[in-house]
Amino acid sequence: MYQIKLSVSELKKIKQLQVKEKNARVLRRLEAIKLLSQGQSHQNIAEALNVCMDTITDWVKIYQSEKLPGLCELQFKDKRKSKINDYVDQIKQDVKDNTITTLAEMQAWIKEKYSIEMEQSWLFRCCKKNSIYLTRKPV
């Protein structure tokens, strides 16, 4: 895993940016770099910041190539577009009408009805982003 050595002035700059920054995504990036410089593991940092370890590695690579300015700039130009964006309203209605209670059920339903295959992790994020709530099973 990647380690980072920060000078006193770099650490001070990160702390200054953290005080001024309002974007939570940028704050997590700054915190990750700071924690790495303190010897924390990628796994501990990922758990503390609620991101995956690959994300920590990506942030380290950004920091190593572009330093703090690159780390503080969010660039999502190559981000994959969700496959269900065009069907969100229909899917919300499907969930209501068909009592879909699990991601696995939803995944199968979307595959059957819309011919879209999605990983459950992507489906979970899409549901969260689009306020799609699964129905709870009656007790």
Q: How far is CA 60 from CA 10, 42, 54, 57, in A?
A: 15, 10, 10, 5
Instruction: Summarize pLDDT for 109-133 with one digit per residue, the tens.
Output: 999 998 988 888 788 888 888 888 8
Which of 53, 27, 58 minimizes the C-alpha distance to 40?
53
Q: How far is CA 106 from CA 46, 52, 88, 124, in A?
A: 28, 24, 12, 10
Q: State mean pLDDT over 38-42.
A: 93
Q: State mean pLDDT over 89-103.
A: 84
Instruction: Summarize pLDDT for 49-95 with one digit per residue, the tens.
Output: 988 888 898 899 999 999 999 889 887 656 666 778 888 898 888 88
How do the domains of the chain map onto residue ranges?
8-71, 85-129
Structure tokens at 74: 């969010």
Structure tokens at 121: 């992790």
Amino acid at position 114, single letter = Y
